[in-house]
Each structure stands twice: as structure tokens, then as C-alpha cells.
Amino acid sequence: MKKILMLLPFVLLGCKSNVDLVSKPKTATVDKPIETLYKVKENEVAATLKYLASDELEGRDSGTKGMEKAADYLEEFFKTNNVKPYFNSYKDTLSNFKGTAYNVVGYLEGTDPVLKNEFLIISAHYDHIGLSKEAVNGDFINNGANDDASGTTAVAEMAKYFSISKSNKRSILFVLFVAEEKGLLGSKHLAKKLKQQNFNLYAQFNIEMIGLPMKRDYLAYLTGFEKSNMASKINEYTGKNSIGFLPKAEEYKLFYRSDNYPFYDIFKVPCQSVSTFDFENFDYYHHVSDEFEKMDIVHMTQFIQEMLPAMTKMTNSSSQEIRMN
């Protein structure tokens, strides 16, 4: 998340992953919904997160070789999992960044002849802040495991799920933003570009910092909680108390501090960020200790698994059930 605490003192998978399905998707539609049969694998979640947060990527600062390696990895992940590029290339170069930086944009066309003209964006930012000028215990690398390799990993896993299940009537853009840490530049660039192309956006579900669980009676919180009915609809779709309200998210205006906001600002539709960082469960925001080893893979896997029914129903509802309040 962009500078929020200033207010407060993927080894590449060489082949398609095996999928734990009780039965094939065609049978699943008769017996049980595919999203209840598909199983997210902890080892695959860990593999993506570990690479993105590795020292090799040197903190994934926008415009650096580390950022390029991360983008290459994410592009190959989409290719391996049969997620197509939305533009001519997966890499969409920013028009508002001094240097070369690009969002990574994947696309799955909807299966319904009418609803496929509407889009759900599932997103996260893959950049981080790179190297520190001064070392902390000999470490200069801000690995950004929680911020936001965790969210990027979740988006990648959701893209894999939808490419296998083919359960989306609406079309989906899987967007991995760059230069969030530079002032939401990646999302500002893409929101403006898509608006100029008369892009039909239904909603955006942006994932920020989901590496650790909260000690609360809900799984995650949504920024801009009261701006739409997204939270209540997600809870209806999951059948659980998945999304709650975090007062600090409103207090620190987190709705305006991540890549959901440029899309909300331009499209005026529900565009919100989900997170499990609650200002109490993680002490290493923008710190060299934001590393893979500190992340809770079981929690991350649970989060992704629990969100699959919600994402599936968001893409399949016959009407636009998620609305602004």
C-alpha cells in the first residue's frame, strides 16, 4: 500500500500444474460447483511467492532489472496457464513513467455471448521499493513479500483457476501493476487507456498485502467498505463472514492509496482493495525484513481458496449485482 505507514510511527513452474479436482469440470457442473472442487496448493502458492520475494529480484523496483525479471516470470506464468495477453503483448508499457516499466496484463474471455462484453479486473501490484541506501543488519534488499508479492501470488493463482475451470461468463483481466510505489502510476496509466477504449468495467477486485492473518472474526477487510455492496455480496457468495470492516482502513484512507482508486476515479464503478494487513499483525512495512520466511502460506492458500466462489459468482451473475451505494 502506498506510504500508508508514514501516517503511523513464483522457481518457474516448467509445466502446467496438476489440479486437485474431485471430478472434471463438466461433471462438476452437475454435482458440485467447480469452485468447491478445485484445490489451491500450498506448495504452488509458496513457489510463486518465494521467487517474487527472492533476493535475485532485488526488491522489484520499477524500471530495474529485478522488475523485469518479475515481469518475465509473470508473463511466463500466464503463458503456461493459457491466459492470453489482452494487448499485443502481456507487457503494457507505462506512458507516465520516466524509464521503462510495464504492467503485466492477462485476459480470459467470458463464455457467455452477452456477459463477455463486461469485465472483472482482478489485480495487485508486483513492484516494490528496491534497495535501501543503508543496510539493516547487513541487508539492503526490500523483498516486499507481503507488499505485494502476496497479492500478486493470489492473482496468479486465481488466473490459473479460471483458465482451468473455464467458469467465467464475464471476461476477466488479470492485471499486475507496476509503479504503485511511485504514486499508483501503473493503475493510472491503465485506467486512462482502457477508458479511452470504451472498456466495459463491471468491478475491480484489487489484492493488497494478504501474507498474514488477522486476529479478527473475519478473513479480510475491504477498503472503501461503505462505498458499494461488494463486501456483503462477497460474504453472500462465500457463505462465510469473509469480509469485514476495519476502522483503520477508513481512518488512513486506504481506499485512495492503492491501485483500485484510479479505476474508481475514472469508471465510477465498484473498485476496491482487499487486505489482511491490519496495522497490528506485521511490523515490517517497507522494510528489509518483509521476506518470504515471515509469510503464512497456509493463510494465503486459505484466503485464495475462500475467494474463489466469490470471484466465480462475480463473473457469472446474470445482472450486475455489485453496485455502488
pLDDT of 26 over the 50 cut:
no
pLDDT greater than 60 at residue 21:
no
Q: Per-residue pLDDT for 3 more than 60? A: no
The share of the chain scoring above pLDDT 70, in percent, equals 90
The pLDDT assigned to 189 comes to 98
What's the sign of the alpha-carbon dihedral 180, 96, 198, 166? negative
CATH class of 4-10+19-316: alpha beta
Question: Which residue type does 120 have?
Answer: L
Residue 1 binned pLDDT confidence (cut-offs 50, 70, 90):
low
pTM: 0.91
Averaged pLDDT for residues 143-164? 98
Task: Give the pLDDT mean for 305-316.
Answer: 98
The stretch 187-205 carries a mean pLDDT of: 98
pLDDT band at 243 (very low <50, low <70, confident <90, very high): very high
DSSP classification of residue 38: -
- What pLDDT is recorded for position 35? 81
Half-sphere exposure of 272 (CA within 13 A, CB side): 23
Q: pLDDT > 90: what percent of the chain?
A: 89
One-letter amino acid at 234 equals I
Which residues partner with 39 through β-bridges? 20
Contact between 93 and 72 (Cβ < 8 Å): no
Which triple of cell numbers denotes residue 79? 503463458
Across the range 286-310, mean pLDDT stands at 98
pLDDT(29) > 90: no
Whether residue 212 is predicted with pLDDT greater than 60 in this model: the reply is: yes
Domains in the chain: boundaries: 4-10+19-316
* Confidence band, pLDDT 50/70/90 cuts, at residue 36: confident
Return the C-alpha cell found at 196. 479511452
Query: What pLDDT band is residue 34 in, cutting at 50, 70 and 90?
Result: confident
Q: DSSP states of 212-248 as a string?
A: S--SSSSSEEETTGGGBSHHHHHHHHHTS--EE--HH
Task: Please compute the mean of the pLDDT values over residues 303-313 and round it to a whole number.
Answer: 98
Q: What is the mean pLDDT of residues 249-258?
A: 98
The pLDDT, as a whole number, for residue 27 is 39
